Amino acid sequence: IHFQKPGNVVAYYQQIGRAGRALDTAYAILMCGKEDDAINHYFIDTAFPTEDLMNGIVAETQKHDGMKLTDYEKCINMKRSKIDACLRYLTVSGDIYREKNVYYKSPRPWKPDLEKCARITAIRRRELQQMNEFIHTQDCYMEFIAKCLDDHTAGKCGRCANCQGHLLVHHPAAPEDIAQAEGFLKKDFQVIQPRKQWPIGVKVDGKARIAPDRLCQEGRVLSVYDDAGWGGLVMQGKYRFDRFDDALVSASANLLRPFVRESHIAWVTAVPSKVRPVLVPEFAQRLAKALNLPYGDALGKVADAPPQNACNNSTMKFENAFRSFGVRRRIPRGNVLLVDDLTDSGWTFTVCGYLLRSAGSGEVFPFALANSAGRVGVGDEAF
């Protein structure tokens, strides 16, 4: 069973072949949805370093007498994996060279050559288009695959769903089973593990590790962004209605009541936003009421900074958060529930928790409605 479609027919054929190797009868079932193309296009578009990224890497390398990977992260707004891929590409091409863990510009004049990248990208797009044609074909599935593999003598298999004229496996899910599955997803939650050190090469208060009395504690996440449990309702509240449904308040309160009691949480605050200044604080106030806890606006945005999702590596996400937030006023001393809508890198919770602890709060316990880490197409301020 494929839950999402592969990027090309050859990969799909190789994978489904595993099902029948030791069995007399096997079924290959492909499930796909609207998000599949977005995911595949994302990987196609990001497979090779862009000209702008390579220009940036070369320019920074020329400015300095040797650079480490962590140095590039401080000045190139790109994911660490992308910077690393670009460095490998430029090293192979001979435009830069590496000694131990340090990169230098070679004497070779820099001239980007992206024709090969463009050709391979075009091939990947054609392969994805072919995969979409396979999904929607009304003809024999096996014959379609065989022709993609240049076997033009292949005929109809007589065994696939199209040849048979009906679904090979057809067991409609009973409504009670669907309800039970949805209930299972809605009872599931994730744990936020606290970050214990600043990004590599960064020191705060002269230390690379976060002081124990400035750490966030283990937190909770209600859902995965846009999943079939609560995640879809989170997405709708954030991007369609600009308000989170009361059902999310109730679900969050039910999840958090024992956690609040065990953690001796005394009050609630929210991560602020200039893009949507009301959305999260208003939700946090309703949540505090449901938990019978006081709410306080303890944090504020102290600088105009880009949305966190505009920052593409850990160092820049940290720096963006660190310069964005400040403590507004004198705050309560007890343990606090720190509420946000989405969590991704964890740097906003880490920085806000550090600020609250530094200002004299008790222990800080993060809570987010959804985890958006790794989700393609998530909009602004996925902190």
pLDDT digits (tens, 9 = 90+) for 136-168: 999 999 999 999 999 888 899 999 999 999 988
Q: What are phi and psi of 295, to 5 degrees?
A: -115, 140
Overall average pLDDT of the 311-340 stretch: 88
pLDDT grade for 310, boundaries at 50, 70 and 90: confident
Least confident range of 118-122, 196-200, 336-340, 370-374 = 370-374
Per the prediction, the chain carries an average pLDDT of 87
Q: Cα–Cα distances in Å, from 72 out to 201, 209, 378?
A: 11, 21, 25
Overall average pLDDT of the 193-204 stretch: 89
102-133: pLDDT as tens digits: 999 999 888 877 777 788 888 999 999 999 99
Q: Across 9-132, where does the E strand assignment appear?
A: 96-99, 102-105
d(CA 231, CA 276): 19
Where helices occur in 167-245 by DSSP H, the ranges are 175-187, 231-236
Instruction: State both tokens at 187.
Output: 């009872």
pLDDT at residue number 377: 45
* SS3 at position 220: strand
Return the residue matching tokens 């609630």.
268
**Dihedral sign (CA 298, 302, 304, 310):** negative
Least confident range of 112-121, 293-302, 365-374 = 112-121
Query: For the CA atoms of 41, 348, 290, 251, what is the dihedral angle to 10 degrees?
Result: 30
d(CA 331, CA 230): 32
Overall average pLDDT of the 26-51 stretch: 82
232-283: pLDDT as tens digits: 899 999 988 999 999 999 999 999 999 999 999 999 999 998 888 999 999 9
Instruction: State both tokens at 365.
Output: 């316990």
pLDDT at residue number 73: 86
d(CA 367, CA 336): 10
Does the pLDDT value for residue 183 go beyond 90? no
Q: In residues, how long is the chain?
A: 383
Please check whether residue 19 is in contact with residue 26, taking contact to mean a CB–CB distance below 8 angstroms. yes
d(CA 214, CA 207): 12
Overall average pLDDT of the 298-303 stretch: 87
> Which residues share a beta bridge with 325?
301
Please check whether residue 305 is in contact with residue 265, taking contact to mean a CB–CB distance below 8 angstroms. no
pLDDT grade for 381, boundaries at 50, 70 and 90: very low
Overall average pLDDT of the 324-349 stretch: 90
**How much of the chain exceeds pLDDT 70, in percent?**
97
From 56, 50, 47, select the one nearest 75 (Cα to Cα).
56
pLDDT grade for 285, boundaries at 50, 70 and 90: very high
pTM: 0.71
Overall average pLDDT of the 365-377 stretch: 78
Please check whether residue 296 is in contact with residue 269, taking contact to mean a CB–CB distance below 8 angstroms. yes
End-to-end Cα, the chain, rounded Å? 34
From 259, 254, 329, select the one nearest 287 (Cα to Cα).
254
Please check whether residue 94 is in contact with residue 108, taking contact to mean a CB–CB distance below 8 angstroms. yes
Return the residue matching tokens 């004198």.
330
**How much of the chain exceeds pLDDT 90, in percent?**
46
pLDDT at residue number 374: 57
Does the pLDDT value for residue 89 go beyond 70? yes
pLDDT at residue number 292: 97
Does the pLDDT value for residue 375 go beyond 60? no
Residues 6+ apart with CB under 8 A from 132: 37
> Which residues share a beta bridge with 267?
336
The residue type at 131:
M
